[in-house]
Amino acid sequence: MHSVLCEWLCRRSATSPFESRPMYRSLLLASVMVLGLSLSGCSALRVSTAEGDSRPVSVGINDGSKEEPHQEPDTSVIPSGMTEVTVDLGPECPIKVQMAMDGRWNDDLAYDSYQLYTRDDGSIITVNCYRAEGETAQSIIDTAQEQTFGESRSSILEETSGTVSGGGYWTVHGLLARQEVRAIDQTESVLYGAIAGISDNGRLYKVSVEMVTVAHNQSVADLFAQMLPSVSFADQVLEPPAPS
């Protein structure tokens, strides 16, 4: 088990900010037991149910005519059956990361700057936040684009790049060849992800949310398509990927 964990940690250190865990829940839980001997102060997930902001009250003069009551458009990106969660990435990450999730995700592994969620079918979500010294927001995005789809059989299906306060971001939906380090169990996989370079107090951070499931698991892939538009970094919602 130590050899498996070492291989896993080595692969993690060699990857871009879009971290991956091509392992199923059983291996992940086994790794936690070993990590508990070498890591201390592991942070836990802090889940918060988002309270909807109160709508402003419209005040006007009634002239006696009957009018349909004015309704504000629904701008919520939280899908039905999900709640908004805030990921606790520890004191090393000042960038708030939020997204919508249902209750079937397990927060199996967490420590400063990193959170792993798993599902019983082997699907995973990784959240990362690290200080990026010597980089720019654009170089973070460029590196992610080059390394996430490194194999010739991998392909980007949809993507969007944009700017946020303090930096820029990239959202993507793509197909990972089985040889990709982010593919689950060396099986062709589907990835939905968001990565950003964001400055806070003059320091640049690379932040990422990566959702991966095997290609034949269409139900979870559809779930990811609903979840990705809910991802926000530093209270800024990102534009979801558009067809390439």
Look at the domain 2-44+78-243 and name its fold: Protein Transport Mog1p; Chain A (3.40.1000)
User: Could you tell me the pTM of the whole model?
Assistant: 0.70
pLDDT digit string, tens, across residues 187-222: 999 999 999 999 999 999 999 999 999 999 999 999
pLDDT digit string, tens, across residues 141-171: 999 999 899 999 999 999 999 999 999 999 9
Calpha distance 219→244 (Å, rounded)? 23
**DSSP E strand boundaries for the chain:** 83-87, 97-101, 106-111, 114-118, 124-131, 155-164, 167-176, 189-200, 203-214, 232-233, 236-237, 242-243
For the chain, domain boundaries:
2-44+78-243
